[in-house]
Structure 1
Amino acid sequence: MALHIQTSPITTSGYAQTSNKLNMKTKYTKILLSAACCLLLMAPQGCKKGYFDTVPDNILVVDDIFTNRGQTERWLAGLYGSILDPWDQPYTNSLPISSDELDAGNWTNPPINSGAINADANPSSQNAMYEKIRLATVFLENIDRNEEIKALVNGPELIKQYKGEARFLRAFYYWQLMKQLGPVVLAPLKSAKPEDNFQIPRSSWDECVSFVLAQMEEAKAEVPLNNYITGSDTSLDITKTGRINKIIITAVQSQIQLYHASPLFNGNTELSDFRNLDGKQLFNQTYDATRWKKAADAAKTAIDLAEANGKQLYKATNADPFRAAFLSVRDLYWDGWKAEGIWLRTATAISGAWEISAAPRSTQGTAYNGLAVVQNLVDDFRMADGTTISTNAGYRENTYTNTATPYYVAGTNTMYTNREPRFYAYVTFNGAVNPGVPKTGENNARVEFFFTGTSGKSGAPRDFPKTGYTARKNIHPTFSVNPSVTVARPAMLIRLAELYLNYAEALNEAEPGNTDILKYLNAVRNRAGLPSLAAGLSQAEMRNQIRLERRIELCFEGGHRYYDVRRWKIPDQPGSNQGGQFFGMNMDAGTSLSDPAFHTRTVAFTRTVWQRRYYFLPYGQNEMDRNKQLVQFPGY
């Protein structure tokens, strides 16, 4: 099912371009305009440069831009350009390979993994974020001057909506900076002039949260409830997919409230030494239990609003309940986004980055075979009856099945049999059925990760998974490298299942035992083919179940795991450690599918030991040198 979308007068084009990094070389009164093709968000290829990157023959000043409807709307489109593509992995989006989910060490290794991260080698996106923040401010200062837009029948409403989009995006980019850097420098809400004072200290975390929530609330009053066709309150306009609306803003606000209530940000005395030069405390030192109630209320509001507008968990149908669950979680990413997607990124590098990087070499045309799933995540997937591998008496790692299924072939190790449906939809293992279109031959129809196998280490110095597993989630079954076959679909930046888990987590902290906790947690479990959890779990037991559910349901998506272990303050604890040794199967052994030498837990790679400074990325040294009021996060 290919996705064909026409462009509207203003589309969020910039956010389709993974290379869209701002490179402003003039003062804010002049901008460089690129060709109109860069505005085509809906076309996955588009221009290689973003709206603010290309130097044309003519330079237009702000007066020209904001008196012209087309140029004004192109400016707004460019503001979407730094929203991260969650599936542009492993390079542009390196969060999953910087956590205990994935490894791509044969190709790239983020400096946080080796301990080489510092303010000079800074992986944060601070420059792009601050550029977009500044450009949003310029837009807000000038949009009211556009008489051409005002003269339209719905001109005043468009001006209001455009303001809301820009205001939200400005706040959203601050939120992205906060997730990366902690408390940030909040610039004045006016475009800077040469004589302005740029020596600005960080605001406290609480001040930053209050600021972005207030800005988003103001924006929410300016944008439509949903992306309707002009003049309609019921018919959605597919050309506006991804445009900011009330449903999206409410969902993002719920995520902010959840983080704000979490241990890293709520009474974190471990960071009492993080202060501005004047001694101002940047993290509150007193735990506030009411934040969890606010987070729960925000999540429920977001859920109710989304469901009132037709959103629901995507569910496929099949006579076999296990197969129905498998299809529900596998096909969600191409068939279910209309039902479950809250905020969509209409163009994504799904085929050019994710699918070709994760699919095994036995895929037709030879994929890259290197996004390796760590053993701990493999172990966390439950058995089909909902038990864990440590509590299920039938779990074995030293026997091999004689039975073939739609998910694996005969001869597969029994550690991979009788697992929950998401395991077969999200992870490719030795003996799995090929996730895409295989090359010809029986050995390619199945996946062979053992040393001499079709996707093994032998004969492939770089294109093999160090752990003996690759990611399978969001690989379409018709995917082929050559001939090139891919199914176009949007990426879900936020989906309903995340909101359900946000709500369950916050409610469990605010009101342990509330029946809604199990209602929404079990809804996600049941869709995935797992039985409902029974009432009576303690708050701590429920917390563990919710965290495990997030670990599995949201794996590889948008950096959830990277941020979750940090906000929970558990990155150095067993089962969630972000440093040290990581395990997999023995990629240096095995000459057959059922070779025990391959099926041996082995240290696959080692990362630097967790340090406190890894909670946040550093501000870039260039910014530290310019702003003498800016303090660096301790340890950098």
Structure 2
Amino acid sequence: MNLNKLFFLALVIVALLPTGCKKGFFETVPDNLITVDGVFTNRGQTERWLAGLYSSVQDPWLTSGGLQFHITTDEADISNWENPAMNSGALAATSINITTGGYYEKIRLANIFLENIDKNQEILALNNGEEIIKRYKGEAQFLRAYYHWVLMKQFGPIEIAPLKSGSPNDDYQIPRSSWDECVAFVMKEMEEAKQNLPANNFTVGTSDVDPARTGRINQIVVSAVQAQILLFHASPLYNGNVELGDFKNMDGKQLINQTYDAGRWAKAAAAAKAAIDLAEANGKKLFRVNDADPFRAAFLSCRNLYWDGWKDEGIWLRVTNSSGPYEYSAAPRSIQGTPWNGIALVQELVDDFRMKDGSEIGGSGYNENTYTNTANPYYVSGTNTMYTNREPRFYVDVTFNGSVTPAVAKAGANNARVEFFLTGNSGKAGETRNWPKTGYTSRKNIHPTFSFSPYVYLARPAMLIRLAELYLIYAEALNESDPGNPDVLKYLNAVRTRGGIPALTGGTQVQLRTQIRRERRIELCMENGARYFDVRRWKVPQEEGFVQGGSYTGMNIEAGSILSDPAFHQRKIAFSRAVWQRKYYFYPYPQEEMDRNKQLVQFPGY
């Protein structure tokens, strides 16, 4: 075996090591590796290599480090357990909690796959063997581009990796490409990959969807990701952003375009509509549950989406995921087995959920000083009226003081409800760290049959992209490029009404921009870091309603001995973070990457 093969074999063994206790298509390790050539003459080993390329696809419910995009924005807090350096102001190239290496390793492994897959005579000899090879190449090429895209979202303009496997002696001193060059690169790669992929994950030789290929890349997935990319590309952070005029390479090359291009919004709208049309032509639709009570129908549609609705609405799925650990990290201690009760939602997010008539809180139907004497499936008698008559998604996403316990309750009458006041069943008293600093926890994606001990968990795929997000991408891009186009209201209202909110009948561009941004805030909360990236790409992290950093509020968790105790229901500062700094638009490149690649420039401020 020559030096290059030994080098790549070592990379493969390291890069494809499993990252968790569960194994599936996304966590697969080639076994009995002898040489790279040996892998690509064997069908099973070749397919394991391809499976390994999927293993770094982000897990949207990962709790260990994976909540970083939710706990560094105005959504959530887990500072009893973990508090990233961005929150304390200590974020630096030497204290970053995310890395680039794993993605660049996967990119390199995709190169090796694409260079060798055509050699596999065992696959070629199969019926439709050439079609299988073609599909595998499309998947690998897409993943190679996708990992570049993940890096771009986190680090901004990046170094584009060579599209060949290379050798240890090659020159890897590569400067950042400009943002526009990065976008052009990933879009081109994805478009080429799309030509080798089926529209949907059909069983080979048929038009039937193959459940065994759930989560594998197809044209629907590629089109959806392209729509996301073009939405970012059109947004203020990347489109004529003179505030970042000092972000340049060593040779003076500008990395963020300084001239606004309004046409980018039209391209994003067209890409989103094409993705929607392709998805719907292949059976995708907004998931809905029928019920005689419209409010209950909206509640069940939004709640059950995460375990019953993925077949209808899911565009890109991750079969193996961490929804189980997320579930017991978020669930209140009133649930059987005493879960960890610690993914706290901030008051600022709680307040952004509307009343059930679609109005903002604070109107005549909202009161923080009274308590209801009625109960329903969402809260018990004695609950503060600030939590009553809210929109259905409020009861899907937020666990509050007096809410009905979201899963299998412990024995005892009081455990049928959640108590976050000091001495309550999920309060701070007697606990070292398993309590929410704000008096709220995340409720989304907690299954009604969940129990921590005995452990009862319903396995389900996680949705990396879903149709509702495509609707909101289209509505946003169209409102910016063609205000007044009836499709803006059509697609925005489709998401609103599924969520139980009345349809809008009109509005100016500015008014609809506000409504679209609020809809993303609510519909996509705690999903895939949407809020984190939204406030950055919109360039609003210091504007009212979007403020990043500083003090965040909640209820007074240090007080209260009964459910209706006014002492608990007082707003107070729950925790504080470092104030917003411009450098937080992007993460710094890790110091080890800067040390390896002397052509890299760091993002200004680090």
Task: Name the counterpart of 1:341.
Answer: 314
The CA deviation string for residues 38-93 of structure 1, in whole angstroms up to 9 with x for no partner, is: 69x9xx833899546x9x7x651111111111111111100001111101125333
Choose which of 523, 530, 538 in structure 2 pairs with 1:568: 538
The answer for the alignment partner of 2:478 in structure 1 is 507
Structure 2 residue 138 is the aligned partner of structure 1 residue 161:
no
Q: TM-score, normalised by structure 2?
A: 0.97
- Contact 1:315–1:527 (8 Å) recurs in 2: yes
- CA deviation after TM superposition for structure 1 residue 575, in Å: 1.3
**Residue correspondences, number:** 602
Superposed CA RMSD in Å reads: 1.9
Number of the residue aligned with 2:358:
386
- Residue pairs, 1:1-400, within 5 angstroms: 27-29=7-9, 45-46=22-23, 51=28, 59-89=33-63, 91-233=65-207, 235-351=208-324, 353-390=325-362, 392-400=363-371
Question: Aligned letter for 1:365?
Answer: G
Q: Is the 8 A contact 2:27 2:51 kept in 1?
A: no
**Aligned pair in 2 of structure 1 residues 377, 204: CA closer, same or farther (>3 Å)?**
same
2:345 alignment partner AA: V
Shift in Å at residue 123 of structure 1?
Answer: 2.1
Q: Distance in 2 between matches of 1:364 and 1:329?
A: 24
Aligned to 1:469: 440
Distance change (3 Å), C-alpha of 1:255 and 1:477: same
Q: Is the 8 A contact 1:38 1:47 kept in 2?
A: no
Q: Which residue type is aligned with residue 198 of structure 2?
A: P
Instruction: Spell out the pairing of 1:408-419 with structure 2 (5 A cutoff).
Output: 408-419=379-390
Are 1:541 and 2:507 matched, yes or no?
no
CA offset digits 1:313-342 (Å, max 9, x no partner): 011011111111110100111111110001
Matches within 5 A, 1:473-512: 473-512=444-483
Structure 1: which 4+ aligned runs deviate by more than 6 Å? 36-39
The change in CA–CA distance for 1:73 and 1:48 in structure 2 (over 3 A counts) is closer
Deviation at 1:230, TM superposition (A): 1.3
Aligned-pair distance for 1:454? Answer: 0.6
In 1, Cα distance between the equivalents of 2:9 and 2:397? Answer: 49
Going from structure 1 to structure 2, the CA distance change for 1:32 and 1:523 (only over 3 Å counts) comes to: closer
Q: Structure 1: which amino acid aligns with 2:331?
A: A
Instruction: Tell me the amino acid that sits aligned with residue 71 of structure 2.
Output: I
Question: Does residue 516 of the first structure (1) align with residue 473 of the second (2)?
Answer: no
Distance 1:26 1:604, change over 3 A: farther
Structure 2 residue ranges without an equivalent (≥5): none
**Offset at 1:146?**
1.0
Displacement, 1:31? 5.5
Amino acid at match of 2:7: K
Structure 1 CA distance, aligned partners of 2:539 and 2:24? 41
Deviations 1:221-242 (A, max 9, x none): 0011111111102x11000000
Q: Secondary structure at the match of 1:356?
A: helix
Do the aligned partners of residues 219 and 546 (structure 1) sit closer, same or farther apart at CA in structure 2, a change above 3 Å counting? same
CA contact (8 A) 1:257 1:294 kept: yes
Q: Deviation at 1:431? A: 0.2
Report SS of the residue matched to 2:44.
Answer: helix
| Alignment CA distance shift 1:483-1:120 (3 Å) | same
Distance 1:280 1:32, change over 3 A: closer
Alignment CA distance shift 1:32-1:191 (3 Å): closer
Closer, same or farther: CA 385–25 of 1 in aligned 2, 3 Å: farther
Q: Is the 8 A contact 2:555 2:570 kept in 1?
A: yes
Identity %: 64
Take 1:555 and 1:616, find their aligned partners in 2: how far apart are those partners? 21
The alignment partner of 1:581 has SS state of: strand
Q: Deviations over 1:546-596 (max 9, x none)?
A: 000000000000000010000000112121111000000001000110001
Residue aligned with 1:95, SS? helix
Letter in structure 1 aligned against 2:258 = Q
Task: Measure the CA separation in 1 of the matches of 2:12 and 2:243.
Answer: 46
| 1:196 CA displacement | 1.6
Matched, 1:629 2:599: yes
Question: Unpaired runs of 5+ in structure 1?
Answer: 1-23
Shift of 1:26: 5.4
Greater Cα offset, 143-152 or 267-276: 143-152
